[in-house]
Chains A and B, each alone.
Chain A
Amino acid sequence: MKVIDKPEFEALIDEKISSDRRDVVGVQDDGEKYVFDDLDSAGDLALEYDVTMLSPKKYLMPQRETILEYRDANGEFEWRAKAEPDGKVIVGIHPYDLVAIEQLDKIFIDTLRDEPYRRKRENSLLIGVNMQDASETAFAASMGTATTDSGYDLMLTDLGETYAVNIGTLEGKEFLNSADVRKATAGEVQEVERIEQEVVPDLFERELEFSPALLPTILEENYDNMAFWEDYSEKCLSCGTCNMVCPTCYCFSVDMIRDLGTNSGRESRRWDGCLLEDFASVAGDENFREEVAERHRHRFMRKGWYIYERYGDIACIGCGRCTSECVADVADPCDVYNKLYQEAQAHAQ
């Protein structure tokens, strides 16, 4: 573990903003919310934040991105698949968002290679920061994602005048090369441990009443509990916001766009979500998840059971974004999980 003075860290980031070939982005306060955005200066960083509106997923799998271009070349079409290597230096990622990115890595790089994601991810440098504040809808401690010892190039912990820095990768180590850093003292190492083990868990007002390891089983047991899903989704507007703000949601749609007046164009993919009404529809007016309750059930089953079965991860990292951004004020996974647990308990008695 290294230690860097805060002014020195800011100077390092400013130096990267001017010299790194990549864009340097970081958490900033836009007046109403915290957001990841392009950094003009390290002084704009707001690393004591509770949660950002969108996760850094937006840099690895943008809301809309071109994945294919085509043009007519004398009657033959030329197709060119696109995978931009426009990685970023991302500063200030909370541990739960790093866990979400690790989950996406497993799917989009290790299992089913997705070139547009892979190139951006492998060209990005992730600088995490241990949490100093939590939103009132977050429950990451219960999900085991409030701290992490992997998934980052560098991980900062605020020690007042200095940052303690855990180095996760060689690229992270090299990133620090030009900075004035020193080795952490035993006391500083202990302080980081204390923060991770005692301070961070206390930041959360909300908690799960059971171990998340039970979640796949609890969901499976409640698959046919339609009364619950119907009751839960009664006020839902099917706007899909919970999908859009989720750091582990990765469903997408592909659209073909013609450049008007030409025989050229492109295919772009955009975020899509299983809560949207026509997500599971097919030609001929058939919709395989027509009811809002069925769509909610699918979203939860996918997060806590299906993805666990396939990839071994619970795809909910307890950030609480779906809850805080929900237009109808119904999306609250912590509440859903606890109620399902209570139903399972009542059932067992």
Chain B
Amino acid sequence: MRSSTTAKFDIGENEYQPVNGLITRTRSFTGADKLFEIQLPDGEELGHQPGQFVQLLVPGVGEAPFSVTSSPTKPGPFELTIRAVGNVTRALHNMEPGDTVGIRGPYGSGFDPDVFEGEDILFIAGGIGLAPLRSMINYTLDERERFGELTTVYGCKEPAEQLYPDELEEWAEGDEMTYLETVDQCPQDQEWDGPTGVITSVIPEVDIDVETTNVLVCGPPVMYTFVLQELDEMGVPDENIYLSLERNMHCGRGLCGHCQINELYVCTDGPVFHYPVVRDKQEAEV
């Protein structure tokens, strides 16, 4: 995986200097998630790798790390998908197009598309874990000819929590990628005609060559152990698995210490890890 700890755009000599990010569009999903489209000054590209993150500052409220959900193949503003769970995210949800935030980054080590060139990929996303993976999924769809068979499995708690419903429909109906989805349950006031059950109940249904398919996983902490167990039972070698892990980051640069998994810093060594690197790290909880 590529390591990129240096911000691409010019921030002078001080790494803590953000630039203004103009919110150009927002989109609420039915759950507590909202998509923000953010434009950098002078229309500059963020220049990220799929799976990398930015540090976003809400003036007067705070700063937090967010994975970029748009693919670098999509020019112009970049996108973040943010669930309102804390002070920064709740404040963000109250912001509108025309408001500005501070942006530092991109930071971290993402998915290097070159590593997967010509190979099959299975994406496994749980809940808001689809947000970081979407960057890579859309990358592979935009440069479809560079990759082999593509499969995505997406599971979330209930139908209302599904992100990017239009895209999911395209993925399901298109013939460029096999798409499977599930919800843990469907409350009576919601509609759902797909399968019900946790994500591990759907994974065995995928038709992949377990020996050669790369599996890219992102989801809530509790999901990893069960998904990895399932993949092991299917015979997927550990070397084929990549995980995007979440931790709290204050600096994004391998200094502040909050995101450490044993000796690894999620902000610089990750958030995307080759599974064998974190397999035996107790604090990775995978």
Contacts and interface: CB of A to CB of B under 8 A. Distances in A.
Contact of B262 (A250, A252, A284, A306): A306
A255 B64 CA distance: 10
Contact of B247 (A72, A75, A280, A306): A280
A282 B20 contact: no
Interface in B8-27: 11-20
B263 A309 contact: yes
Contacts of B79: none
A306 B263 contact: yes
A80 B89 CA distance: 23
A157 B17 CA distance: 43
Contact of A108 (B101, B255, B257): B255
Nearest to B263: A306
A347 interface: no
A272 B247 contact: no
B93 interface: no
B63 A267 contact: yes
A263 B247 contact: no
A32 interface: no
Interface string B238-270: 000000001110110111111011110000000
Give the contact-size bracket for chain B: 35 or more
A194 interface: no
Interface in A286-345: 286, 288-289, 294, 298, 301-302, 305-306, 309-310
A79 B102 contact: yes
Given A81-B12, A256-B57, A280 B63 contact: no
Interface stretch (A40-48, A112-120, A121-129, A159-167): A112-120
Contacts of A112: 5, 253-255
Contacts of A279: 257-258
A222 to B, nearest CB: 13
Contact of A283 (B11, B85, B262): B85
Contacts, number: 131
B220 A284 contact: yes
A256 B220 contact: no
Nearest to B55: A254
A29 B11 CA distance: 44
Interface in A81-114: 81, 83, 107-108, 112-114
Interface in B200-236: 220-221
Contacts of A231: none
Interface string A54-87: 0000000000000110101001110111010000
B59 A251 contact: no
Nearest to A257: B60
A112 B282 CA distance: 26
Nearest to B61: A256
Interface in A228-280: 250-256, 258, 263, 265, 267, 269, 272, 274, 279-280
A281 interface: yes
Contact of A114 (B19, B255, B257, B262): B255
Contact of B60 (A265, A284, A305): A265
A76 B100 contact: yes
Nearest to A115: B14
Given A83-B14, A256-B61, A263-B60, 11 more contacts: A68-B17, A77-B59, A115-B14, A115-B16, A250-B255, A252-B250, A253-B250, A263-B59, A267-B16, A284-B85, A302-B263
30 contacts: A68-B17, A79-B102, A80-B17, A81-B14, A81-B16, A81-B18, A107-B255, A113-B15, A115-B16, A250-B255, A251-B258, A252-B256, A254-B63, A254-B250, A256-B57, A258-B61, A265-B60, A267-B57, A272-B257, A280-B247, A280-B248, A280-B260, A282-B246, A282-B248, A284-B220, A288-B261, A288-B283, A288-B285, A298-B283, A305-B263
